Structure 1
Amino acid sequence: MKKLQRLIVRVKSRYLLINDGLSINIKDCIREDNPLKNLYFIPAMPDSFIRNNNKNNKVNTKSLVGIYYACIKKEMNEEQLNATINALSMLPYFDYIQKIPETSPLPPAVSINNTFCDSPNFTHYQDYKYGNRGHYYGIDMMYAWSLGIAGQGVRIAVIDWGFNFNHIALKSARFVELIPLSKHEFDYHGTNVVGVLYAKNNESGITGMVYDADVVYGVTEFTEGYSTRPTNIAIGLEQLRAGDVFLFEMQEYYGEPADYNKAIWDMIKAATDAGIIVVATAGNGNWDLDSEQFAEYRSWGDNGVIMVGV
């Protein structure tokens, strides 16, 4: 099967039709020297999301109209792809054009023992649940628990490579596979993340910090083997209300923050403006976000994300 190469683009509003189709000049598309002739466009936002049929929240989905996957009809090498992006940027149709990597950076490799057994109690290793321990500060979840607070009334969505929805510490009607997984090599990564959040409070294994949250939605980054972050984030956002939390366990191809992709940045801004709390990893690239390389990224402003790094 031919490798699918795609860009993420934002089409300027004046080149959109009423039904969100494109009105890009067909004469331009058929010219031999026009880069559009090598592309076809697929909306990145599900129709139900754009029309905000879910009524769970007040995300301004109209602010996200015009985000498309620009799929490339013929396979290109990196040099040809960069030349195509440069040529497209000279056309009047787009607010931005960015590459979507063939795959996201891989999570760290670990050795997994898939044998099911009774788990010892490992909660004594969870030092981060305490507050000031002298040599470090934890999150002081013990204090919240003493007040009876363990996530009640909150929905959480987590986007990651994949999840083990049958894990002995997680399996529950409230841990929901929102999008069928198509990649399973790194299910352990999302499973670990959800475990820290949501593992059962049963003196076995670890205890999730918000083990009594109303529901946790597991959202994969991939559909049918391809990275489909904007689409899948939209599906996750449909489930959330103001005060709920969306955790982005993602990074860009070279370890930059996930919202280094402008489409993701725009989606985070729409979510936080609607009162949804977005927490994102800063990425594993050890980048200096104050450097000149990230000047344009900083110029976009504050999208309200809580970005976490070490």
Structure 2
Amino acid sequence: MGIARGRAIRPGRDPLQWPARFAANRRYYAHVRAMLAPLGIERLIIFVEGEPLERMLAGWFSGPIELWEDGLSHYVDLTSPLWYAARGAVQVAAGIHPAGALTRRADSRRMIVRDRFETGDLVLPPPSIAAPRDWLLFIGSPLVEDGIVPRSALSAGLQALYAASLLPVAYLPHPREDAKTARDMVGAITGAEIALMPYGIASHVEANGYCGFVSATSTALLDLGAFGRSLFVPCLFGLDRIHQALADWRCNPVAVASGRDEAAQVLARWSDTTTR
């Protein structure tokens, strides 16, 4: 059974709308609690620990709570504490649930934490990946949309990756990337193409084969389970903090390239494997 719980409203650009949206957001959380209360929930499982709705539910629910891994950010902080604090301040000003809004991590002391790579008590079956062909797949992330890098840095990083690869590279846009902008950016880079449909990562790799998978920060590299032919390359995009976080994560099953030269070496090995 599913419940249409709706969502909070962003503040918007018109200050005249802010008071009404603030009040609507306060009513929203009360509405969600009123919908859930009669259901007799005995155990609450949440997947995103740092978001307002999940924090509200964790503070409201009195029974046992489980926190299930929501991806890469479950293990490492990919942006600075100031980024989360600034985002949280804007949310609070919009009437969004304020508890813990300025910090990345929820209070997990009363939660059972389940994940794939540290506690090892969560199993998420990977997709059935199609037979390899002589292409690499670059999996996009909303780096520009989230204000983490400018478009010029994303384009420069992709050009560096494509220059380092002996194989053509397909770019799979993230759902939050603007499709036309991504298509124009990739179209200007020699040796790069936008990936074929479908765009959902599981359905895409089941329909299209690749000899390797590359990304700056995407959780998809964990979800695919193809760890021997997956590579994080945040340094190509100037994401030194993210590189360090991924390199320091002791349970990381995916290699992290220290720069273009190391990335080129890894990609060359993949290319050799496919041509044998």
Using structure 2 for the length normalisation, give the TM-score: 0.30
Bigger proportion of residues as helix: 2
Whose strand fraction is larger, Structure 1's or Structure 2's? 1
The TM-score normalised by the length of structure 1 is 0.27
